Structure 1
Amino acid sequence: MLGRRLLAAAGMAAGVGLIPAAHAGNQKEEALADSVRLALSRAVTDSAPPKVRIDDIDQRIKYLHWLGEMSSRLSKRLPDRQVRIELLETLWYEAKRAGLAPDLVLGLVQVESAFRKYAVSPVGARGYMQVMPFWTRVIGDGDPNKLFQMQTNLRYGCSILRLYIDMERGDLFLALGRYNGSRGRPEYPNAVLDAWRRWEFSR
């Protein structure tokens, strides 16, 4: 999949361009209980801005160290510092909001889209976290183009991964397989877990 190219939006304002296909599987549309659907809908439509606020000084220092280290590691993939910092700040916010480790989400984004905002997979998954368009109909406003927006994509992706972890009773291996549409197969979960180890931050 990764070597193939397909026609995709290079940005809503930038027109159409060639974007390498992303490494996403086919997330399955599953029957969700009304309470779960409502909770997910609220999770993705909450308009709270991704502003990091950490009152504890030690935790604030740790976050700033994380931001600096991750920015340095990501610089070759995303040379524009402003874009890089905005992605990292938003990813950290959305990961923490969903109860996920930011380093795990970085690993997933690496495997899913190689940090390409406008990546589109052969099955139509979109953006950094390769979210399938049906999710915008199930829990959103029905506009799949919004999946190319940074915060929207990360919010959907983190919320969906959190849902799958809960569905699998904390089994991350099975949850990652479900996220990729390949539940029970080892290739995708192992790839994400390996990438997660590469992004781990222990300071």
Structure 2
Amino acid sequence: MTGVLAAPYGFAGNQQEEALADSVRLALSNAILDARPPKPSFANVLDRQRYQTWFADLSARLQRKLPDDQMRTEFLETLWYEAKRAGLDPGMVLGLIQVESAYRKYAVSVVGARGYMQVMPFWTNVIGDSDRSKLFNMQTNLRYGCAILRMYIDMEKGNLFLALGRYNGSRGKPEYPNAVLAAWNKWKHTPGAGVSLAASP
């Protein structure tokens, strides 16, 4: 594929293929197969307003990295949807993407991890339809990445440090988790920071 770039960082993903319980494999497969569109929905007006302020804040901050307005809107809508769906903080997912791929859709690491969240291709055989090219699709990549990270957090009983290390294939080493946590701090949204709702979708 033209336009594919090698990820520049030594932190790029290298998840290790390992034995999964049938129940875990089934849960992951079902999560990947969910065909609902990645459009955020809200139980009440307050939740919608919180999302809109988050979107306006993050859209402004991501403009230099993702200058195309439509692409940035789709990226943030999908990231919010997939992160929340997996029970993850969207800011943490943004931090992980910054460390993994620097927001490059077609990034490929030296070990073959692909896309925004640097998902290893073997996952398409384990829980998908074996079509590795789909890992360059934005929603597919974010869905795989968020589902896999959620699985690792559950496997590590909520220990985010170990779960992030497992995601990167460096479990127990501090460099990658520390880099993601530092990036997460930069992408945290503070409600009431004076962001206008005019820029919201």
After TM superposition, the score normalised by the length of structure 1 is: 0.91
Q: Counterpart amino acid of 1:31?
A: A
**For 2:145, which of 134, 139, 157 is the aligned residue?**
157
Q: Counterpart amino acid of 1:67?
A: F
| Structure 1 partner of 2:168 | 180
Mapping for residues 96-135 of structure 1, pairs under 5 Å: 96-135=84-123
Q: Which runs of 5+ in 1 are unaligned?
A: 1-8, 10-15
State the structure with bigger RCO (CA 8 A, min sep 6), 1 or 2. Answer: 2
Mapping for residues 46-85 of structure 1, pairs under 5 Å: 46-85=34-73
| Structure 1 partner of 2:136 | 148
**How many residues are paired up?**
189
Q: Counterpart amino acid of 1:172?
A: L
Q: Is the 8 A contact 1:44 1:140 kept in 2?
A: yes
Q: Counterpart amino acid of 1:21?
A: A
| Structure 1 partner of 2:198 | none
Structure 1 residues 39 and 18: CA distance shift in structure 2, 3 A: closer
Q: Which runs of 5+ in 2 are unaligned?
A: 192-201
Counterparts of 1:30 and 1:51, CA distance in 2: 32
Three-state SS of the structure 2 residue aligned to 1:17 is coil
| Structure 2 partner of 1:3 | none
Identical-residue share of aligned pairs (%): 68
Three-state SS of the structure 1 residue aligned to 2:190 is coil
After TM superposition, the score normalised by the length of structure 2 is: 0.92
Three-state SS of the structure 1 residue aligned to 2:171 is coil
Counterparts of 1:55 and 1:170, CA distance in 2: 27
Shift of 1:18: 5.5
Counterparts of 2:101 and 2:163, CA distance in 1: 18
Q: Counterpart amino acid of 2:7?
A: A
Mean CA deviation greater in 44-53 or 158-167: 44-53
Structure 1 residues 25 and 129: CA distance shift in structure 2, 3 A: closer
1:1-55 CA-to-partner distances (Å, cap 9, x unmatched) read: xxxxxxxx3xxxxxx1362424314210010011110110000111111011113
Counterparts of 1:22 and 1:139, CA distance in 2: 28
Moved over 6 A (4+): none
Mean CA deviation greater in 47-56 or 37-46: 47-56
Mean CA deviation greater in 25-34 or 174-183: 25-34
Structure 1 residues 177 and 81: CA distance shift in structure 2, 3 A: same
| Structure 2 partner of 1:19 | 5
Cα RMSD, aligned residues only = 0.9
Counterparts of 1:22 and 1:180, CA distance in 2: 15
Q: Counterpart amino acid of 2:25?
A: R
Q: Counterpart amino acid of 2:153?
A: I
| Structure 1 partner of 2:199 | none
Counterparts of 2:4 and 2:115, CA distance in 1: 14
Q: Counterpart amino acid of 1:118?
A: Y
